[in-house]
Amino acid sequence: MKLKLMMAGVFMLSACTTAPVVSEFNGSSVKLQTSAFGNVKEARAATQAEANRICGKVGKRAEYASTRSLPDYTVEHLYLCL
């Protein structure tokens, strides 16, 4: 019974989406991390919005450059500030 409850909890948590986390910003680019378990379209929209906000602080706009998977089940998105 405990195993079933633990497994149900894991599946419910994996369905949760979290806000993108800024992992690096240098004025010319911004790297954002999201969970690998979330909805791809929602993550892309959320990271684009956050990148626009961060790049806007230096008077620039964000342009998507690349995505890579990290070993800890996170995904890192790179945006250039142009």
55 near 79, Cβ under 8 Å? yes
Query: What pLDDT does residue 58 have?
Result: 97
Give the predicted TM-score (pTM) of the model.
0.78
pLDDT of 18 over the 80 cut: no
- Quote the pLDDT of residue 13: 52
Model pLDDT, residue 71: 94
Domains and CATH numbers, the chain: 20-81 (3.30.1660)
Contacts of 30 (CB under 8 A, 6+ apart): 22, 24, 51, 54, 55, 62, 78, 79, 81
Each residue of 34-77: pLDDT tens digit? 999 989 999 999 999 999 999 999 999 999 999 999 999 999 99
What pLDDT shows up at residue 16? 57
